[in-house]
Structure 1
Amino acid sequence: AFAFAEAGARVVAVDRDAEGAARTAEMARLIGAPAAWGEEVDVSDELAMEKLAEKVAAEYGIVDVLVNNAGIGLSGSFLDTTSEDWKNVLDVNLWGVIHGCRTFGRQMAERGQGGHIVNTASAAAYQPSRALPAYSTSKAAVLMLSECLRAELADRSIGVSAICPGIVNTNITATTHFAGADAAEEKRLRKRTSRLYGLRNYPPERVADAILKAVVRNQAVVPVTPEARGARFLSRFSPGALRGIARLKPPL
């Protein structure tokens, strides 16, 4: 949101945390957005997303660039991951993207003036891991959805980019659910993972820069961070190596 604001775009910041969205909009105005608004929505709620799209179009105008960025973390073995765990991660990570693309993408198509859709996937979309079966599946689906939409919407001058970050220092680790862990163990794992991401300290601002470039250049798949680019290379030219890496147990 801030990167687009600095580039001079009007910004609609959307979050299920209304206060957080409002703060983001306020900061976006301060750093250069001609106008910015905050809206509250749960991206997994189809009806709420439809109402949001209608409101945005009526009050602010049809969006030129849509960024589907909401996501939640889920770690743990497949056998420890419950049906409810699967539902939670797919509702946000996949269905949230589907709802965003369908509601706002249809408006772009009907307007007939082009546009761009950015879907945040992950290096996990093409890098299998015994520790991330549900999360990786959700992100792989986002990557394929993006590729399919890119093909469908090209003749309407609507670009679609899948952004695939690796280890980026954001607060997703503080809310990641660890399947099969009790409350105390989950707290320990969250703290440990947050510390590791902090030590890696790859800033989200660099991902934002990659998103802006993807929109300007109409890039299809954009790995961000060295490990994401390395995994992308292996997925294309040495998938067996990635499968071997996937078998490694994560440190406790």
Structure 2
Amino acid sequence: MKRTNIHPELVVVTGAGSGIGRAIALRFAAAGAHVVVSDLNRDSAAATEAMIHARGRRACAARLDVTDPSAWEAFARDVLADHGVPDVLVNNAGMLVSGAFVDLTPADWDRQLSVNLLGVVHGCRVFGQQMIDNGKRGHIVNIASAAAFTPTPVMSAYSVSKAGVKMLTECLRLEFGPKGIGVSAICPGVINTNIGEHAVTVGVDEELVARGKELTRRVQDAAAKLPFSPLSPDLVARAAQRAVRYDLAVVPVRAEAWLGYFLLRIAPGVNRRIAQPLDVERIERVGRRVLRLIDPTSSEPAGAQAISAPIEVSR
């Protein structure tokens, strides 16, 4: 791999109020960049900004609704006026809509695609134009998912959105590459974030949803206590930095993501069937086993029988 000559001094990160976005903002700030921390929740963005300042690094916070093209235009103008053209843009903001395909309404699809896919489109457009007009090297990092290449039941909208992000990234590499702008897709597997906590579940009993979220929370809490952090969002942050440093096209994160990435190429039929047998009861059993593996002292809550959706704790 050949190193690029990009040394990020100004980095813009969306969805940086928590999870993967916060980890990415912290890591780029630690490397010396001024980070523009944006999030739909202004208070969450401010909390990340405060964490960066507490470490003696530079950041500023802003509210951004990634589904609003006019908000993107205004945000890009403000960044340009206050700080200049970013060296790196990280399109991280995302959410999860899950449910059986026939239960998803047009509004569910609009909600999923407007955040996960069109939000990335808008960011690439406004900041890509700035980078092109400025005439200097830059890089765009789009946070996709292992779901981009491994189909999963009851997550069709999410998987389509992330597959779209991956394909958009590869198309833009061809367009932006000759102009000195790299574009990368990061595809995490299971990562400890709160995406499941804020997920929209369609056509599922609310009591089962609550049970699923409780089991997910317990797995996350147990994983956070481990010294080697196997589900840490910082794994994705490091991958984002590596993508910029070496201008990588697609970067899977964690073993399950790499497995899907290679199976898609060498055994696509197997890849399509990997998740086919999954149902909510089996997913719950897997979640319980993971919890016992991470924390052998944990006890199963009384009455827990099934959960509503996969323990989807990644981006």
Q: TM-score, length-normalised on structure 2? A: 0.77
1:79 aligned to 2:102? yes
Q: How does 1:147-186 map to 2 (within 5 A)?
A: 147-186=170-209
Deviation at 1:197, TM superposition (A): 5.2
- Between Structure 1 and Structure 2, which shows a larger proportion of helix residues? 1
Residue matched to 2:133: 110
Partner residue of 1:208? 237
What number of residue pairs does the alignment pair up? Answer: 251
Matches within 5 A, 1:47-86: 47-86=70-109
Find out whether 1:19 has 2:43 as its counterpart: yes
How far 1:107 sits from its partner (Å)? Answer: 0.4
* Alignment equivalent of 2:55, drawn from 31, 42, 47: 31
* More displaced 10-residue stretch of structure 1: 2-11 or 173-182: 173-182
Query: After superposition, where does 1:232-243 map in structure 2 within 5 Å?
Result: 232-243=261-272
SS of 1:28's partner is helix
CA distance in 1, matches of 2:128, 2:201: 34
Task: Find the residue that maps to 2:211 and give its secondary structure.
Answer: helix
Displacement of 1:192 after TM fit?
A: 3.0
Report how far residue 178 of structure 1 moved: 1.5
Is this contact kept in 2: 1:5–1:31, CA < 8 A?
A: no
The correspondence for 1:231, drawn from 260, 277, 280, is 260
Cα displacement string for residues 52-80 of structure 1 (whole angstroms, at most 9, x for unaligned residues):
00000001111110000000012221111
Separation in 2 of the partners of 1:185 and 1:140? Answer: 28
Extract unaligned runs of 5+ from structure 2: 1-24, 224-229, 282-315
Do structure 1's residue 43 and structure 2's residue 66 form an aligned pair?
yes
Deviation at 1:187, TM superposition (A): 2.0
Q: Sequence identity of aligned pairs in percent?
A: 47
**Counterpart-to-counterpart distance in 1, 2:218 and 2:269:** 30
Cα separation, 1, equivalents of 2:234 and 2:73: 29
Bigger radius of gyration, 1 or 2?
2
CA distance in 1, matches of 2:53, 2:74: 24
* Structure 2 Cα separation of the partners of residues 78 and 198 of structure 1: 31
Letter in 2 for 1:179: V
Work out which of the residue numbers 249, 274, 277 in structure 2 matches 1:248.
277
Measured after TM superposition, the shift of residue 159 of structure 1 is: 0.3
* 1:175 alignment partner, SS class: coil
Q: Structure 1: any 5+ residue segments left out of the alignment?
A: none
**CA deviation digits over 1:59-110, x for unaligned, max 9?**
1111110000000012221111121111111110001101110011110111
d(CA) in 2 for partners of 1:155, 1:104:
16
Q: What code does the residue aligned with 2:276 have?
A: R
- 3-state SS of the aligned residue for 2:191? coil
Where relative contact order (Cα < 8 A, 6+ residues apart) is larger, the structure is 2
Deviation digits for residues 105-157 of structure 1 (CA, Å, limit 9, x no counterpart): 11011100010000000000000111210000000000000000011001111
Pick aligned residue for 1:219 from 243, 248, 252: 248
User: Once structures 1 and 2 are overlaid, which stretch shifts more, 127-136 or 193-202?
Assistant: 193-202
Cα distance, 1:188 vs structure 2: 2.2
TM-score by length of 1: 0.95
